[in-house]
A and B are shown apart, each in its own frame.
Chain A
Amino acid sequence: MLDLSVIRQQGSFRVDVSMKTGAGVTALFGPSGSGKTSVINMVAGLARPDQGRIEVDGRVLFDSQQKVDIAPEHRRLGYVFQDGRLFPHLSVRANLNFGRDRVPESERKVEFDAVIDVLGIEHLLDRRPALLSGGEKQRVAIGRALLASPRILLMDEPLAALDANRKAELLPFIGALSKRFHIPIVYVSHSMDEVLSLADTLVLMDQGKMAAIGPTEDLLSRPELRPLTGRWEAGSVIRAKVEGHDKQEGMTRLRFAGGSLVMARNHLALGSTVRLRVHASDVAIALDHPGRVSVRNVLPAKVVSVRQVDPSLVDVILACGETQLWAQISGCAQADLDLKPGADVYAMVKALTIARGEVAETGET
């Protein structure tokens, strides 16, 4: 979908990124000033790379060698800005139609009514942007970009200016957009919560460079990438499907590649796909099946790697089927168990340690 390789010098800061992204949501994650916004500005044509090449859906948008530089208005990309940027002199309806009116009728892939419906903005149509709340503004901005039937939707921290409640309200919308309208999304963020609930693919950015790219679950579960994934606590991210809720026991059962997990009962939709985070310090390891134990999740696993972080802390990566699980045990526990790669063990995760806030619906069913 998006294939780029660009270099741009901005003062003393250098952006040098090459990447390919696919369908679904790709998150560009990194601290402020890591060059995330510069990258999507170059894709949109709002900033010009010093050299390189940008291709979207096989169409060359920029190529410094062949001297191709398509103007932003001809790139057909949607851009949702952090600050919304609705036109204050136009009504919400006119804002929404601003891009749509400039797309030939035969190329309009996105239905006006469908967007209004998904974003729940019908009652706002005749208002002026000045009278909208922050969350409403962002919805209209998303709708406006979508209605231009873009080949890719670029989103630059669209939720950063919103409070936690509005954020939680809008996140599921964005997750559903890519699937509903079949438009790949490139999502810039410095919030791991957002990445966790939205991104299929994760691109870690560091000082203008791409540090890693891969499925979100993989990257977040790799100990060596920890400095980049941020102040986020060590742990693995598992993609799972909601299999059932047990009212009596107050439990929700989830199935993932490699077994099933139970957690405290929640309101996730049955059959929906979720990402959940298991903190490394919440995973215990037993050499033998513990038998009768309060821990609800006892998963057969194989040791993949063992790494002594410091005298008191050992990182152990386990494989439960295809899923990797990251465990942290104490130095003396390792001295006692003497774990080695290839050993068969049992990973134990207390149901209550899988916190509700760390389970996010991905919008897939």
Chain B
Amino acid sequence: MFILTDLEIEALYLSLLVSGWAVVGSLPLGIGCAWLLARRDFPGKSLVDGLIHLPLVLPPVVVGYFLLVLMGRRGVIGSALYDWFGISVAFTWKGAAIASAVIAFPLMVRAIRLSLEGVDRGLEQAARTLGCGPFATFFTVTLPLVMPGILTGVILAFARSLSEFGATITFVSNIPGETRTLPIALYALTQIPGEDAAALRLCIISVVVAFVALMASEILSRRVQARLKG
């Protein structure tokens, strides 16, 4: 019987918590950015596009370091957050969620943007002629039609968040019960001689989690596709 130890449960729980919040928190912004990139032309569009995609090509450690500089207690954003709201994300699971979100953001935006570009604008025009305002049209027509893209984006971002290591350990370090997610716990174990068995167990847990997530996404996206196709 494969019974999880307290440490393993803690790491698994943290991984799911961090990844979940990373995805849920960044989704509205992701949809917004995707819409902006797919539908609007504005000065500096390629710059925004590049900035969003930067984490995809930068070493995660660089992203983590940027976050530390910007959002650490003494960083520009971090100190403002602390002074105004008394919030500090440095060295907490929230910081880990932010790091994961930033790293996974380009994947999410890409998927949603592609899907948005595939939406027939004619359907939106039809909705307008039927008395539906632009805002309502977005929620009743556009959004349901990009659901497959949103789902893909969410799954990709969630998977990327689960595997996030570099940016997280740089930004929020390795704090048991706070920022020690599965990959970080695994890294920590590999640094200790004689913990091969424990490390292997974490590997297996990681594989299972990833596999379940992929299966779930496959089933979900099939359902959504089936709904659209009748």
Chain A contact residues, CB within 8 Å of chain B = 44-46, 71-79, 81, 83, 85, 87-89, 98-99, 102-103, 127-131, 144-145, 148
CA distance A235 to B140 in the complex (A): 50
Whether B122 pairs with A89 at a CB distance below 8 angstroms is: no
Known A-B contacts A79-B126, A85-B122, A89-B144; A73 and B132 likewise in contact (beta carbons under 8 Å) = yes
Residue of B nearest to A149 (CB): B131
Residue of A nearest to B143 (CB): A89
Known A-B contacts A71-B128, A88-B229, A98-B127; A83 and B144 likewise in contact (beta carbons under 8 Å) = no
B145 sits at the interface (CB 8 A): yes
Whether A88 pairs with B128 at a CB distance below 8 angstroms is: no
Known A-B contacts A87-B141, A89-B144; A127 and B129 likewise in contact (beta carbons under 8 Å) = no
Whether B228 pairs with A73 at a CB distance below 8 angstroms is: no
Main secondary structure of the interface of B (DSSP, over half): helix
Whether A77 pairs with B129 at a CB distance below 8 angstroms is: yes
Residue of A nearest to B144 (CB): A89
Known A-B contacts A81-B126, A85-B120; A148 and B131 likewise in contact (beta carbons under 8 Å) = yes
Instruction: Jot down 28 A-B pairs with beta carbons below 8 A, ordered by A.
Output: A46-B129, A72-B125, A72-B129, A73-B128, A73-B129, A73-B132, A73-B134, A79-B126, A81-B126, A85-B120, A85-B123, A85-B126, A87-B123, A87-B126, A87-B127, A89-B145, A89-B227, A98-B140, A99-B129, A99-B130, A102-B131, A127-B230, A128-B229, A128-B230, A130-B229, A145-B129, A145-B130, A148-B130
Residue of A nearest to B147 (CB): A89
User: Contact flags (1/0) for B203-230 with A, using CB distance below 8 Å?
Assistant: 0000000000000000000000001111
**Cβ contacts under 8 Å, B128 to chain A:** 45-46, 71-73
B133 sits at the interface (CB 8 A): yes
**Cβ contacts under 8 Å, A103 to chain B:** 131
**Residues of chain B in range 110-136 having any CB-CB distance to chain A below 8 Å:** 120, 122-123, 125-134
Q: Which of A73, A75, A79 has the most CB of B within 10 A?
A: A73
CA distance A103 to B132 in the complex (A): 10
Residue of A nearest to B137 (CB): A73
CA distance A76 to B144 in the complex (A): 24
Residue of B nearest to A99 (CB): B130
Out of B129, B140, B228, B229, name the residue touching A44 (CB < 8 Å): B129
The 10 tightest CB contacts between A and B, nearest first, are: A128-B230, A99-B130, A130-B230, A102-B131, A72-B128, A85-B126, A79-B129, A89-B144, A131-B230, A130-B229
Residue of A nearest to B226 (CB): A128
* B202 to A: closest C-beta gap in Å: 41
CA distance A88 to B124 in the complex (A): 12
Whether A71 pairs with B129 at a CB distance below 8 angstroms is: no
Residue of B nearest to A127 (CB): B230
Residue of B nearest to A78 (CB): B129
**Cβ contacts under 8 Å, B144 to chain A:** 89
Whether B130 pairs with A89 at a CB distance below 8 angstroms is: no
**Cβ contacts under 8 Å, B133 to chain A:** 71, 73
Residue of B nearest to A147 (CB): B130
CA distance A81 to B123 in the complex (A): 10
CA distance A144 to B130 in the complex (A): 8
CA distance A46 to B134 in the complex (A): 12
Whether B129 pairs with A98 at a CB distance below 8 angstroms is: no
Whether B130 pairs with A88 at a CB distance below 8 angstroms is: no
**Cβ contacts under 8 Å, A145 to chain B:** 129-130
Whether A102 pairs with B229 at a CB distance below 8 angstroms is: no
CA distance A188 to B82 in the complex (A): 64
* A211 to B: closest C-beta gap in Å: 28
